[in-house]
Structure 1
Amino acid sequence: MKRNFKILVLVLLFAVASCSFTTKTFNDPDKDKTLVELITYVLENGHYDSKDINDSFSKEVYSNYLEELDPMKRYFYASDIEEFQAYEDQIDDQIKNKDISFFDLTYKRFQQRMAESKEIYKEVLATPFDFTEDEVLEADYDNRPYVASKEEMKERWKKQLKLAALGTYYDKIKEQKRGLEENPEAEKKSNAELEAEAREITRTSLEEYYDFNDDLQRKDWFSVYVNAIVERFDPHTFYFAPTDKDRFDMAMSGKLEGIGARLQKKSDNIKIIEIISGGPAWRGDEIEVGDEIIKVKQEDEKEPVSVAGMRLDDAVGLIKGPKGTKVTLTVRKVDGTVEDIDIVRDVVELEETYAKSSIVEKEGRTYGVINLPKFYFDMGDYSARNAASDVKQEIIRLKEQDMEGLVLDLRNNGGGSLKTVVDIAGLFIKEGPVVQVRSKMDGQEVLKDTDPSILWDGPLVILVNELSASASEILAAAMQDYKRAIVIGSKQTYGKGTVQNVIDLNRWIRNSDFGDLGALKLTTQKFYRVNGGSTQLEGVKSDVVVPDRYSYIDIGEKDQENPLPWDQIAPADYEVWNDYVGFEETIKSSKARMAKNEQLKLIDENAKWIRDQRDEKSFPLNFEKYKTELEQDEEQAKQFDRISDYKSNLTYKSLPYEMKMFSTDTVLAEKRERWHETLAGDVYMEEAIHVLEDMKMNNIQNSKLAEIRD
């Protein structure tokens, strides 16, 4: 879970990678050994805070790697760990000597233990569970020991599977009870039958899990080992295998070339799980969610290729392709019929990653809202669509609707392009510094807005939370230091004050037999606010602090392993925005409102409850005790249902240009309707509008006083 979160949230700031360190030749014929040597070279010469690769480093890699392979300690035995420990302080030497024997040993053993575990789970699930036994599963996996025997391993699996089956069994009993209340004549299954169904569902889920793992190749597990090494430098240094790099590029640019559908592998089948609005599949209206892809045929090939049993990544690779090319999919439709469908590939815009805006009226005044999910850009062409140009366009459109105040929503925005941050900041200030950057090789630099024009000089509020990271923090920090905007949100933002470059590892290699070696994202710089302080670890502290569901959960940079430290440098030369009147009074008024807000009090109580639930490490395997605990939790949870019932008296609506699109794009219309409903129940957005109103009124009153004095 930790790794998934890091990959989701901590993204690139600089896209253009430059390597000024000495060119080196890599001649080893073994691809894996070359990869380790090359990555080590790049890390030692290019990382902002390069580490000594010594025994201490080795022990950290050893621990991290085994945790990645077997986090729940249900594969390896104590005897395996005893054998592995001979390498605990040797990995540093192996790295330097291009020796991968530790990986080879653990990989072969892991494959062996995985195969053994298949037999274990099948044996366990062949026998009914006794849910009357008074057993408990202790789920403190970090502190649980490795098992010493097959009997202990079977017992560990039994408890884990029993908990999974118990949850399903509980749900089935509730479902049957509800069904009998609605229809007393319905067939009533025995508890034994329901238990058997619960075990079967558990078995099916495990088979899908093992199908996924069976699709993984040696190179996939080698990537896990490589990342155990590179992540010791800091949490954001990461090795991208070739397929991972493709996904990263797509996520940053917000587009891909293909058919415009999301796929999922279920058992041996590739199924359509989403049709992307505006894409070729959506426009053709022949493919639908639930269709199963059987074969794929390229326009220059005579015979189609079967994708049955194929790895999902490989199937996606066949279906994706350059804009304008044709692909023929043989699909089994939802109704069971089989059809050949021709689709011309095109650039598919992932609309949900782009900036979107709304207008809201309050007491005769019009305000604007811009939601920015990430600071996106095209890695190959910055002049193409990017976050800065889109935000600029939305502001222009909102001004045409006589907007009197703007909310920029950066909640859950994990970052992106640094250039787009500087460009967006320039929309709100006169020319001046936006962020300071310190590099290992190039020293210190101040990135400035050089355009003296200001697109929006009115009231500005920025919304943030604990998941606002990196580029989001730069923008929020700059606007806060200039006193250009009031920042509303969590106690602090994520706290990522480092800059990453993505280095194409193929630039050093001339051996065509290797294929694509992928890329390395490594930390090359730290950035600092214009006031001199770093956002590293500390993040941006909101002017108005409000609780949210993440308030008591450890998810920030400070909660990651081996983050770089906080520090500060001299402030840049900048002038505080002086066009606001009553700036501090507005913040004070907002704090007073928030302190009295009953919705926020309820949210704070819910956040504490979520923390307590997440900290739970012991689970009963006795049905009655499980039922009692679950019902108590459900009863406690009911008190927080009112959170989703909250509605403000504000109404949000789309801009005219978007409303014209709704007649032909009903999917977009539905998405906007859902977004507006969410905004109407958003207490943070409601307060942001209140703050804009206060800022506007303060300035109006000041203008009238000035007129009287004149």
Structure 2
Amino acid sequence: MKRLLPVLLLCSVSLFAQDSGKACELLSKINKLVQSEHYKPKPIDDSLSAYVFDEMMNRLDIGRNIFTKEEYQKLLVHKTRIDDYLNANDCAFLDDFTSTWKTALLRKRKIIESMKAVNFDYNSKDSVKFSKKNFEFDLVEGDFDRVWKKRLRFEILDDIAKLSKNGDSLKQHFTALEKLSKDKMIESNLCKVTTILEDSKGIEYQLQTFLLDLFCNYFDPHSNYFSMDAKSSFLSALSTSNLSLGLNVGLNEKEEIIVGDVVPGGPAARSEKFEKGDNIIKVANNRGQEYWVSCTSLDMIGEMIFSDSNKEINLTLRKKNGSIVEVNLRKEVMKASENSVFSYIAEKNGTKVGYINIPNFYSDFESRTVDGCADDVVKEVIKLQHDNVEGIVIDLIDNGGGSMEEAINLVGMFVDIGPVSVLVNNKGKQNVLKDGNRGMAYTGPLVVLINGNSASASEFFSAAMQDYNRAIIIGATSLGKATMQNIMPLDNKNEDFVKLTTEKFYRVTGESGQIKGVVPDIKLPMLFDSVTKREDSYKTALPNDVIVTKARFQPMLIPNKEKIIALSTSRIQNSVKFNELKQLDGEINLMYNKTRGPIRLTFADVFKDIHEIDPLWNKIKEVAEKPSGVSISNTSYEKGKISNDAFEKEISDYRMKDVKSNPYLEEAINIIKDYNGLQK
């Protein structure tokens, strides 16, 4: 056996040598593509090295609890040399990362395994510290036993504290709960380590993927490397299942599964347990199979959630306030609704307006028909005009964008012929995007609602409406993404791809919405606005600038616009409702930004810390669900359509519930009332 060992080791090194060679080959192809096609390519220098190194270390040890100071120092020698390695087509430096990460993971697994036999003391004076900045890599070999005992104790106490708001009850059953939670936390941590160490593609492949993705991220946050792996199969499963939970999900930047849209009329919507942004942490079926998302491959999770063979699914959610909720759902055959855009009649104090919600700028890419977001909006406009509305409100709150072509088409529905935006490539060439169709689908008063999550195509449309003086924009400043990405294969094998930022959008005025976003004409207090992650929060975001453009356009006239804005601003300042929202957003800001800890590792201290924010979350929920006082009803067309269709009625009622609690619709109606009143 000893004679075979050197041969096996040589095979292992040889195999990884091939992997590191593949990494360099892919990096060379990516860099060639970046330098020729990226909107603003950067040189391969020490700045790239430092960025890639620091971000790589964050991905491998964000908690600073698996590497020793000595191991970090060993890797630190590469911090300013990665650019040199890449220029020399030598990726052997990945050997150091691989061996060091593997050693650290094996040590972590061994230490956590040993904790199974340890009886934890929950009455000690030990505490845990928290910091918004990364801790230093300062651990030595003898620290890990102490560090992981503390971490596991905190995770156990945290897990128990989130089970209930009744601390006395939890304390009474603490011994039994501690045993269950300890087993769960140890198993979860071991699972995470084992998933990395025993990944079928190998730890080397994972590091290679990190490196390639971080290389792309250096040029801007929206450029990424990806291959046809579990991500694509996981996300494509959304549209392939006959049976459905009525739930759209996605991945956040931490590779966690989060709830996207909840489909009206579906099992998830009827449970009334799901909200956008909920984190799915565990999935199980009725055959006893269960998977923790944190340590299971995405293809297995996708199979569990979307396969027709699993008709009943139990999902464990972590809500935004940290509470844990279990929901059991039975899949159903979902009848597709006519479109994603929807509208209602909204009335207040004798003023009747049309409300149109656009959740995203979708398009039928596989069809040559006109089906898409813009066409669907026109259909809703026709329905609303038939009911003699006095103005229209378009809601783009939380609309993350989509098809830019649909956004261009939608602009053309509300303005006459002319340029709508300027697209600039990396050679400075300006391509003026135009609405080539004369006429407008609607010529009356228009109000557009936006917030910090309104992005990309939403910003494109809102900016054009603002520049043409076609609509009054109200809400909060948008996200600030004014770049366009294309997905490009690295070669003709179509196995490896890069999503690359190739162009930048400018307004017809020559201004850029990049970083700056669309600033509303009338600002409204919005919950979570002060902590919303916008484009400027990314280290490598492209800058804001202004160009001189040849685009010529004729803005329209909103009569008495300054008076309308002044009247609205006065109402907002004196509104009990809006002052409550402003104060509450301030409390949210303080909660998110306050310095936390240290926290003693006792049940009482951890329970207090976890539930300290409960009153605030209760206030947020109460405000979010409070009816606005606006009367909401279906259009005449929809009333006839849903009268004999229970499914469509269920969808309509579900959507209407959200519209009724929209705190901004009432002010939009007031603005339209002022617009019309000042005309007389």
Q: Given residue 192 of structure 1, which amino acid in structure 2 is its aligned partner?
A: T
Q: Given residue 418 of structure 1, which amino acid in structure 2 is its aligned partner?
A: M
Relative to structure 1, the CA distance from residue 414 to residue 641 in structure 2 (aligned partners, 3 Å threshold; closer, same or farther) is: closer
TM alignment of 1:396-411, pairs within 5 A: 396-411=382-397
Cα distance in structure 2, aligned partners of 1:660 and 1:34: 62
- 1:678 CA displacement: 2.2
Matched, 1:496 2:477: no
Matched, 1:240 2:223: no
Cα distance in structure 2, aligned partners of 1:432 and 1:65: 47
- Equivalent residue of 1:118, what SS? helix
Cα distance in structure 1, aligned partners of 2:92 and 2:65: 23
- Equivalent residue of 2:89, what SS? coil
Cα distance in structure 2, aligned partners of 1:47 and 1:28: 26
Partner of 2:630: 650
CA contact (8 A) 2:395 2:450 kept: yes
CA contact (8 A) 1:261 1:276 kept: no
- Equivalent residue of 1:427, what SS? helix
Which of 548, 553, 556 is 1:577 aligned to? 556
Provide Cα deviations, 1:268-324, integer angstroms capped at 9, x if missing partner.
xxxxx9997899xx9xxxxxx9745899xxxxxxxxxxxxx994426858999xxxx
Partner of 1:5: none
Relative to structure 1, the CA distance from residue 125 to residue 294 in structure 2 (aligned partners, 3 Å threshold; closer, same or farther) is: closer
Cα distance in structure 2, aligned partners of 1:146 and 1:537: 33
Partner of 1:121: 112
Matched, 1:599 2:577: yes
- 1:628 CA displacement: 4.3
Matched, 1:523 2:508: no
Relative to structure 1, the CA distance from residue 104 to residue 260 in structure 2 (aligned partners, 3 Å threshold; closer, same or farther) is: farther
Q: Given residue 596 of structure 1, which amino acid in structure 2 is its aligned partner?
A: N
- Equivalent residue of 2:64, what SS? coil
- Equivalent residue of 1:679, what SS? helix
- 1:223 CA displacement: 2.0
Relative to structure 1, the CA distance from residue 641 to residue 455 in structure 2 (aligned partners, 3 Å threshold; closer, same or farther) is: closer
CA contact (8 A) 2:304 2:310 kept: no
Provide Cα deviations, 1:459-491, integer angstroms capped at 9, x if missing partner.
11111111111211111111111111111111x
Partner of 1:696: 676
Q: Given residue 538 of structure 1, which amino acid in structure 2 is its aligned partner?
A: K
CA contact (8 A) 2:627 2:661 kept: yes
Cα distance in structure 2, aligned partners of 1:313 and 1:546: 42
- Equivalent residue of 1:552, what SS? helix
- Equivalent residue of 2:347, what SS? strand
Cα distance in structure 2, aligned partners of 1:70 and 1:316: 27
- 1:518 CA displacement: 3.2
CA contact (8 A) 1:429 1:454 kept: yes
Partner of 2:375: 389
Partner of 2:321: none
Q: Given residue 649 of structure 1, which amino acid in structure 2 is its aligned partner?
A: G
TM alignment of 1:505-584, pairs within 5 A: 505=490, 508-509=491-492, 516-553=494-531, 555-570=533-548, 572-578=551-557, 580-584=558-562
Greater shift after overlay, 64-73 or 449-458? 64-73
Relative to structure 1, the CA distance from residue 652 to residue 195 in structure 2 (aligned partners, 3 Å threshold; closer, same or farther) is: same
Cα distance in structure 1, aligned partners of 2:553 and 2:102: 59
Cα distance in structure 1, aligned partners of 2:305 and 2:655: 31
Partner of 1:98: 89
Partner of 1:417: 403
Cα distance in structure 1, aligned partners of 2:336 and 2:236: 9
Cα distance in structure 1, aligned partners of 2:384 and 2:363: 22
TM alignment of 1:12-411, pairs within 5 A: 31-124=22-115, 126-140=117-131, 142-171=133-162, 174-175=165-166, 177=168, 189-206=172-189, 209-210=192-193, 213=196, 217-218=201-202, 219-243=205-229, 246=232, 256-261=239-244, 291=285, 311-313=297-299, 316=302, 329=309, 354-381=340-367, 383=369, 385-411=371-397
Cα distance in structure 2, aligned partners of 1:151 and 1:420: 60
CA contact (8 A) 2:479 2:535 kept: yes
TM-score by length of 1: 0.77
Which of 586, 601, 616 is 1:608 aligned to? 586
Cα distance in structure 2, aligned partners of 1:333 and 1:143: 38
Structure 1 residue runs of 5 or longer lacking an equivalent are 1-26, 180-187, 265-272, 283-288, 296-308, 321-326, 335-342, 511-515, 702-710
- 1:76 CA displacement: 2.0
Relative to structure 1, the CA distance from residue 216 to residue 349 in structure 2 (aligned partners, 3 Å threshold; closer, same or farther) is: farther
- 1:239 CA displacement: 1.4
- Equivalent residue of 1:612, what SS? helix
Cα distance in structure 2, aligned partners of 1:662 and 1:520: 45
Structure 2 residue runs of 5 or longer lacking an equivalent are 1-17, 250-259, 270-282, 290-294, 315-330
- Equivalent residue of 1:523, what SS? strand
CA contact (8 A) 1:294 1:330 kept: no
- Equivalent residue of 2:239, what SS? strand
Relative to structure 1, the CA distance from residue 354 to residue 208 in structure 2 (aligned partners, 3 Å threshold; closer, same or farther) is: farther
Relative to structure 1, the CA distance from residue 174 to residue 477 in structure 2 (aligned partners, 3 Å threshold; closer, same or farther) is: closer
- 1:107 CA displacement: 3.2
- Equivalent residue of 2:424, what SS? strand
CA contact (8 A) 1:230 1:238 kept: yes
- 1:646 CA displacement: 2.7
Cα distance in structure 2, aligned partners of 1:84 and 1:44: 28
- 1:92 CA displacement: 1.4
CA contact (8 A) 2:474 2:523 kept: yes
Cα distance in structure 2, aligned partners of 1:144 and 1:310: 28
TM alignment of 1:658-697, pairs within 5 A: 658-659=638-639, 662=642, 669-697=649-677
Provide Cα deviations, 1:369-396, integer angstroms capped at 9, x if missing partner.
1111222224444646322222222222
Relative to structure 1, the CA distance from residue 371 to residue 72 in structure 2 (aligned partners, 3 Å threshold; closer, same or farther) is: same
Relative to structure 1, the CA distance from residue 275 to residue 499 in structure 2 (aligned partners, 3 Å threshold; closer, same or farther) is: closer
TM-score by length of 2: 0.80
CA contact (8 A) 1:293 1:331 kept: no
Cα distance in structure 2, aligned partners of 1:175 and 1:169: 11
Relative to structure 1, the CA distance from residue 171 to residue 470 in structure 2 (aligned partners, 3 Å threshold; closer, same or farther) is: closer
Greater shift after overlay, 411-420 or 602-611? 602-611
Provide Cα deviations, 1:141-182, integer angstroms capped at 9, x if missing partner.
634122433432233323322222212333557547469xxx
Greater shift after overlay, 642-651 or 75-84? 642-651
Relative to structure 1, the CA distance from residue 394 to residue 353 in structure 2 (aligned partners, 3 Å threshold; closer, same or farther) is: closer
Cα distance in structure 1, aligned partners of 2:222 and 2:64: 26
- 1:229 CA displacement: 0.8
- Equivalent residue of 2:530, what SS? coil
CA contact (8 A) 1:48 1:523 kept: yes
Provide Cα deviations, 1:322-379, integer angstroms capped at 9, x if missing partner.
xxxxx98487899xxxxxxxx99x9x89869932222222344432111112222244
Cα distance in structure 2, aligned partners of 1:414 and 1:525: 18
Greater shift after overlay, 643-652 or 239-248? 239-248
- 1:661 CA displacement: 6.0
Fraction of identical pairs, as percent = 26
